[in-house]
Structure 1
Amino acid sequence: METMVASVGTPLHAATAASPSQIPPTSPLQSVILPPPVVDPELLSVHSQGAVSRYVVSVNHKGSKYHVLQLSPGPLAPPTPFDIILPPAAAFVSDQTTMTAYPDFSVSSCGWQALFSLVVHPDFLWDCWGPGNLGEFSDVSSLWKCWDEGTAIEGVGRKPPLRMVETEWGSRKDKRSNKGHHAAWRPRQNTTACQKWSQFQFFISRIETSISTGLTASQAVQVLEDTRLTFSMPQLHRKLQTKRQKKGKVGGPCPESSAPSSGDVIMAT
Structure 2
Amino acid sequence: MIDLVIDQRRRDLGGFEVGRVLPFASHRMVGPFIFFDHMGPKSFEPGFGREVDVRPHPHIGLSTVTYLFDGEITHRDSVGAVQDIRPGEVNWMTAGRGITHSERFDDMRKNGGLMHGIQAWVALPEAFEETDPAFAHHGPDDLPTYESPDGLWARLIAGKAFGAEARVKTHSPMFYVHWALKAGARAELPAEYPERAAYVAEGEVEVEGRTYHAGQMLVFKPGEPVLFTAVTPAIVMLLGGEPVGPRFIEWNFVASSKERIEQAKADWRAGRMKLPDADHDEFIPLP
| TM-score bin (small chain) | under 0.3
Structure with higher Rg: it is 1
TM-score (norm 2): 0.23
